[in-house]
Structure 1
């Protein structure tokens, strides 16, 4: 198990979906570093691709380490890393929106709010 992200590429705020919205039964993750799949929506994909986002061409393995709770209990700030950071580089910029997936299911929505220098 990864205990911390030593060289994060960014920070992001995630809003975890409630169970009624299709989110996780246990709510936001509780492990020190959560690994999942993410996808960055690009202009209208949801409307034109059957089964999207589960069928997105570009999916990435993302690492998230919680920094703090912001707003309500389902909204949190995270340090962000990727298992293959060079592949995600062109998608990772201030304001970039992304979806956290567990299998074909979207469990959270995120937005990059700071990218670290040198990334």
Structure 2
């Protein structure tokens, strides 16, 4: 697995030079909110402020997509990922797709 410190949203990794570009890699996951989660989230909206149940769901979903992206890059032989981005789309009501993607590369110090 790729060390998360070797992942950046930048087009370069400080202190390293790209020796090989292995192409776009991605990690995708699709999640839905449970009925109980929707109920709890709905109750939290009554009082305003941060809706912690949805924050937790979003964070777990992004983390899962990120891990899948790392795995995809490692399978290609990469030791770093540059230009990382996230995207999310609602597939259907209450079902969201989250995509983490970037460019898998091999880097060397220097």
TM-score normalized with structure 1 length:
0.22
Q: Which has the higher contact order (CA 8 A, sep 6+)?
A: 2
Structure of greater Rg: 2
TM-score normalized with structure 2 length:
0.23
